[in-house]
Amino acid sequence: MAKAALAPTRKLVDPGSPSSDPFRALRLALQLPAAEHQSKVLLVTSAEQGEGKSTLAANYALVSAIGYRNVLLIDADLRRPALHEVFGMARSPGLVDLAASNGHLKDYTRPIPNFGTLDLLTAGSSIRKTGDLTSSARMAAILEEAAQTYALVVVDSPPLLSAADASGIAALPGVSVLLVVDKGARRRVIRNALRKLELVNANVAGAVMNREGRLSTYGY
C-alpha cells in the first residue's frame, strides 16, 4: 500500500512564468524535424552528482506535458531517487516493483495533478544490484511499452561516472541522451562522461549547461 503523499518541493518552475522559457526552448530544440535520431525516450544524466539532472528532468517533463503532450517521467536513479520527493509522492510502488512483476506500466504510474498530461513512475522499492535492472531486457521492455503509450518518456538516471546504470539504459534501443553539465564542471570529467556514452554507442541528443540552478545555455 502506498504511503501518504508528501508535500512537493519547490524545485518546479511555474509553466506560465518566464522561468519555464529555457525548458520550452530546450523542448523545441530536441523536437526539431532536422534531428536525425529523434527518439521518444530521453535519458537525462550528468557526469557527477549535484549537477541538477533530476530537477532538469522534472521541469522538462512538466513543461512538455502542458497543453498537448502525454508525458511519462521515470525515476531510474535507483541509488538516490528524488522525483517522488519533487512531486510529493511515495517512493513505492514504482519502477523496481513493476520490473519484478508481470504487471503493466499503467498499474504503476501515477498522474501529477494540475500539470497537464504528466504521469510519474517513481523508483519504487530499494534494491542492491541496480545495474542489473537498468541494463536488463525487462527494462528495455518497460521503455518500449512506455514509448508506445506516451508521446514522450523522460528518464532520470544516476550520473555516468558514479555507476554503470546510466550507460546501461543509454545502450538500450530507442533511447536518446541529454547530458547535464554544471558550469563549474572540469573538462576532463565531461570528456570521461562522453567517453562512457561513446563506448556503448549511445545516441547523444545534446548537452545542457546548468548555471546556479538555472538552465541557461544548451548545445547540440
Q: 11: pLDDT confidence band, cut at 50, 70 and 90?
A: confident
Q: Return the pLDDT at 217.
A: 41
φ and ψ at 47, to 5 degrees? -75, -45
Q: What percent of the chain has pLDDT over 90?
A: 51
Q: Return the pLDDT at 31.
A: 73
Q: Return the pLDDT at 163.
A: 83
Record the cell numbers describing residue 118, joined without a space: 504528466
Per-residue pLDDT tens for 109-122?
999 987 779 999 99
**Is pLDDT at 7 greater than 80 in this prediction?**
no
Contacts of 13 (CB under 8 A, 6+ apart): 19, 20, 23, 59, 62, 63
Q: State mean pLDDT over 129-135.
A: 86
**Is pLDDT at 93 greater than 70 in this prediction?**
yes
> Nearest Cα to 105, choosing from 120, 116, 127, 126?
120
Q: Return the pLDDT at 32.
A: 63
Residues 137-141: contacts with CB within 8 Å, 24+ apart?
138/99, 139/76, 139/99, 139/168, 139/169, 139/172, 140/172, 140/173
Q: What percent of the chain has pLDDT over 70?
A: 86
Per-residue pLDDT tens for 13-43?
777 677 788 888 888 778 764 445 568 999 9
Q: Is the pTM of this model over 0.75?
A: yes
Per-residue pLDDT tens for 159-184?
999 888 899 999 998 999 999 988 77
Q: In the block, which residue shows the cell 508528501?
A: 6
